[in-house]
């Protein structure tokens, strides 16, 4: 089980549970074509984002297999929500997890996603005791692939046209890291 103490502080960021007053910031991210281009869902309306936010308010711990921890990423001292990171507990038996990240394009290129992602990997390996964490991305999403490589993850798979996303066949790439690789990095 994982119940972090919040906020989780990095050099520049605060990772914290979502709050009801994050609606504008979350909508600013999830309503954009350039953000959702490689995701399973299309740009969301304010009403749709409000529904998503309501579900995220309770995603603050990993208590059992299948749970997902979703945290807002805030620029420390500024109060600006830059995006979000998540960690899913995929298997108790095999000690497997999956992480992901979505950031507003105005905040790309500053290392924020990498800084927040490191904390999600740390939580998974050091606090939850996972053996393996994966990250998945649309094969066209080279920025996400580069970030996972910078984190020290290994590209394990490239599935060619394995899913229909938004009406078109898309490739998927899968990256992974083991606990021993995390410890050795």
Domain ranges of the chain: 8-134
CA dihedral 58, 59, 63, 65 (to 10 degrees): 130
**CA dihedral sign, ordered 124, 128, 133, 135:** negative
What is the distance between the alpha carbons of residues 161 and 159, in angstroms, rounded to a whole number?
A: 6
Residue 15: name the closest of 64, 80, 84 by CA. 84
Contacts of 129 (CB under 8 A, 6+ apart): 95, 179
Instruction: Tell me the fold of 8-134.
Output: Aminopeptidase (3.40.630)
Q: What is the pLDDT of residue 22?
A: 97
Other CB atoms within 10 A of residue 93 CB: 6
Q: What is the mean pLDDT of residues 157-175?
A: 96
pLDDT, one tens digit per residue, over 56-87 is: 999 999 999 999 999 999 999 999 999 999 99
Encode pLDDT of 40-61 as tens digits.
999 999 999 999 999 999 999 9
Give strand ranges (E) for 57-145.
68-75, 80-91, 96-103, 132-138
Q: What is the pTM of this model?
A: 0.95
């Amino acid at each position: 089980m994982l119940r972090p103490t919040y906020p989780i502080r990095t050099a520049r960021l605060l990772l914290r549970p979502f709050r009801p007053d994050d609606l504008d910031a979350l909508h600013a991210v999830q309503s954009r074509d350039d953000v959702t281009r490689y995701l399973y869902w299309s740009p969301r309306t304010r009403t749709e984002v409000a529904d998503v936010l309501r579900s995220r308010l309770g995603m603050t711990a990993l208590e059992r297999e299948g749970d997902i921890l979703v945290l807002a990423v805030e620029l420390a001292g500024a109060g600006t929500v830059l995006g979000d990171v998540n960690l899913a507990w995929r298997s108790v038996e095999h000690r497997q997890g999956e992480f992901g990240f979505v950031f507003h394009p105005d905040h790309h290129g500053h290392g924020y996603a990498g800084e927040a992602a490191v904390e999600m990997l740390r939580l998974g390996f050091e606090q939850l005791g996972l053996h393996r964490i994966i990250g998945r991305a649309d094969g066209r999403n080279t920025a996400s692939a580069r970030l996972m490589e910078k984190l020290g993850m290994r590209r394990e798979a490239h599935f060619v046209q394995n899913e229909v996303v938004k009406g078109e066949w898309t490739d998927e790439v899968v990256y992974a890291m083991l606990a021993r690789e995390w410890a050795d990095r």
